[in-house]
Amino acid sequence: MMESKTDSKQPPSTSPQITASSHFTDWLQEKQISLAFTTYQTSRLLLIGVNQNGGISGFERLFDRAMGLYTTPEQLYMSSKYQLWQFNNVLKPGQFYNGYDHLYIPRIGYTTGDLDIHDIAIDKSNRIIFVSTLLNCLATVSLENSCTPLWKPPFISKIINQDCCHLNGLAMVDGEPGYVTAVSQVDYVDGWREQRQNGGCVIDVKSNEIILTGLSMPHSPRFYQEKLWVLNSGRGYFGYIDLERGKFEPITFCPGYLRGLAFWENWAIVGLSKPREGTFSGLELDDNLDKNHVKPCCGLMVIDLKTGKIINWLRLEGIITELYDVQILSGVQRPMALGFQTDEISRLLTLDPMVSLY
């Protein structure tokens, strides 16, 4: 049985309905992991773990336009409409709060303005790096301004608040920005929308070299096991880039618009969204769904990297139709978080040990 908790004051019918493959929770328990993901249009952070009865523990909090995620077992970073949050786990090993073994509380918030922050990462010096899709650049947080720009693609002439190429994805390599994805190589406002079919590209950040073109709305590049993985979202394929040949090698077709990618051992966890009217419509994905005789769904697919087979899945029904990002919480069985919709965050206090004033 699925269990779901929410801080929303909405009626229960607006909460998501979660179903999963028969061995999904067994897999989470065996690997000692939980999952975190954001839902973008419905402004949710969802945490998926295993409850005391071996069923799915689903916990949601509302954050306006929740998108980019980055996690460690003890911290969670998330972008929202005009802020970027750092959540800290306040429970010690063996400690529980209402049956949850990890409790993430938003401790640090950066007010960035609506930079349209997509992927987030932490570099080797513990600096927050993110993609500002609005500014067509990589940036970091600033204590005085909306952000500090760090890098822009070679075809972007200046940092300006016009989403030109729809820069969206970031792959870190050895703790530094390695590769990014963009929907196009244009340098005029909203020009990417005309390039959705095959204008997508992957860029080497250090060399400024465009290493691959011809993708359809690529997202979520990740460097893992010495391979550069990417979602060819407009066609529905998860795969990797052969860096020597500059070619995308598809591994698995997934029934939905792909966004969000994480890895654990020899498995990939891929996020799926239902096609949206406008941005997601009229793509090759529509034909590929027909060819495979499947309907699009919203949820997660667990893919075996050795075989390309989908071994487990989680499906969301109801109000949620789109996901943005997915991350893994290692060593976490049943996570929860605090938000700002109820007064729980004002009542739950945790303290550092007392120190001497002098």
Residue 248 in this model has a pLDDT that exceeds 60 = yes
In the prediction, which pLDDT does 40 show? 85
235 in any annotated domain: yes
72 in any annotated domain: yes
Residue 278 in this model has a pLDDT that exceeds 70 = no
Residue 277 in this model has a pLDDT that exceeds 90 = no
Average pLDDT on 65-94 reads: 96
| % of the chain surpassing 70 pLDDT | 96
Residue type, 191: G
* Whole-number average pLDDT of the chain: 94
121 in any annotated domain: yes
Residue 10 in this model has a pLDDT that exceeds 60 = no
Residue 304 in this model has a pLDDT that exceeds 80 = yes
In the prediction, which pLDDT does 4 show? 47
Segments in the chain forming alpha helices (H): 24-31, 284-291, 344-347
| % of the chain surpassing 90 pLDDT | 91
Are 274 and 285 within 8 A, CB to CB? Answer: no
Question: Cα–Cα distances in Å, from 174 out to 55, 124, 160?
Answer: 36, 8, 29
353 in any annotated domain: no
Angstrom distance (rounded) from CA 322 to CA 258: 10
Q: pLDDT class for 275, splitting at 50, 70, 90?
A: confident
Cα 225 to the chain's mean position, in Å? 19
Are 97 and 336 within 8 A, CB to CB? Answer: yes
358 in any annotated domain: no
Cα 248 to the chain's mean position, in Å? 21
Range of the domain at 104: 3-344
Q: What is the DSSP letter of 165?
A: S
pTM for the full predicted model: 0.93
Neighbouring-strand partners of residue 285? none
**Tokens matching residue 234:** 């407009």
The per-residue pLDDT for range 323-355, each reduced to its tens digit, is 999 999 999 999 999 999 889 999 999 999 999
Average pLDDT on 126-136 reads: 98
Angstrom distance (rounded) from CA 78 to CA 239: 25
The per-residue pLDDT for range 113-122, each reduced to its tens digit, is 999 999 999 9
349 in any annotated domain: no
Angstrom distance (rounded) from CA 41 to CA 62: 11
CATH number of the domain bearing residue 19: 2.120.10.30
In the prediction, which pLDDT does 64 show? 96
Question: Cα–Cα distances in Å, from 357 out to 120, 351, 354?
Answer: 37, 16, 9
Question: Cα–Cα distances in Å, from 313 out to 211, 234, 255, 300?
Answer: 32, 21, 11, 6
CA dihedral 83, 80, 71, 310 (to 10 degrees): -170
Q: How many domains is the chain partitioned into structurally? A: 1
In the prediction, which pLDDT does 5 show? 53
